[in-house]
Structure 1
């Protein structure tokens, strides 16, 4: 028995959950845009980060999770834990 799973096995196990999460993100963005009477949301850094992260998801590579995490991470600040 192989220790690693094939792409088909992973898709068989996770496709419905992934699909549900993508639909959840799409619905949340729809709600934000419908509620944005003054068109301020597009300039909100949180929305901009969500859009950047979605762009990363549409790329190739083995480091998408890392790149998305870095979009939502604060830059390291030396001395962050000192007075």
Structure 2
């Protein structure tokens, strides 16, 4: 499969990406304006968001994969497979 030319990808996805960035900015503003923003800044979820944003701002390839890894648990070979409940 031939990759989409960069200019065409921008034409096709810019408005959607802009909307998502604005939504994220609004969420971060709400957290920052909330009571006790220092506690929120120390929350592990806020740290994960900051890590993901650092990945997005980098020029590294496969950013989507790397952002997914930020939010994922590490592989555990001893993980117990759940059994279905019937």
Contact 2:48 2:71 in 1 (8 A): yes
Looking at structure 1, the residues matched to 54 and 61 of structure 2 have their Cα atoms a distance apart, in angstroms, of 15
**Partner in structure 2 of residue 74 of structure 1:** 73
**Partner in structure 2 of residue 41 of structure 1:** 40
Q: Any unmatched runs of 5+ in structure 1?
A: none
**Partner in structure 2 of residue 57 of structure 1:** 56
Cα displacement string for residues 30-59 of structure 1 (whole angstroms, at most 9, x for unaligned residues):
001111326200110000000110011111
Runs of 4+ in 1 over 6 A off after TM superposition: none
Q: TM-score w.r.t. structure 1 length?
A: 0.87
Looking at structure 2, the residues matched to 34 and 5 of structure 1 have their Cα atoms a distance apart, in angstroms, of 40
Alpha-carbon RMSD across the aligned residues, in angstroms, is: 1.9
Q: TM-score w.r.t. structure 2 length?
A: 0.84
